[in-house]
Amino acid sequence: MGAIATSRAELVAALAPVGVTVTDHVPEQLNPPALMVVHGSPLIEVGDTFGLHLLRLEVWIVSKLGANARMTDDLDALIEATIAATVVDGWSVENVAQPFSYTVGARTFLASTVTLTTDISLT
């Protein structure tokens, strides 16, 4: 397994304590609340340390269906839990996106993204 896939798997494992479904891709069937680890943009940049690169991954956070106020509260709690789980595991939080509507089929969920970075070696 390469450095990107290994880091993605480690991030999924670090997110397990959040207590919701966590995948390392966008699943065909989504059952929120859920976290999806996907590639960020740019995915890789030159790192600050010689020989290392900066890897950027996004955690898409999708709240369960409900009233708007409830989805907002649930999303806030999931964002905080995601940050708490990843910072302890050595990831750096680059930013948290403004919430947006995420539509799957006929259902619309409240979602946000947390962009995380870590150093990796590609050699």
Every domain of the chain and the residues it spans: 3-120
In the numeric block, the tokens 């539509």 are attached to: 103
| pLDDT band per the 50, 70, 90 thresholds, residue 5 | very high
CB 93 within 8 A of CB 114: yes
Write the pLDDT tens digit of every residue in 64-116.
Answer: 999 999 999 999 999 999 999 999 888 999 999 999 999 988 899 999 999 99
**Cα torsion at 83, 87, 93, 96 (round to 10°)?**
0
For 3-120, give the CATH class: alpha beta
Burial of 77 (0-12, 13-18, 19+ CB in 10 A): middle
CB 55 within 8 A of CB 120: yes
CA–CA distances in Å: residue 21 to residues 13, 45, 102, 105 = 11, 29, 17, 19
> What pTM value is reported for the model?
0.93
- Residue 99 to residue 24: CA distance in whole angstroms: 21
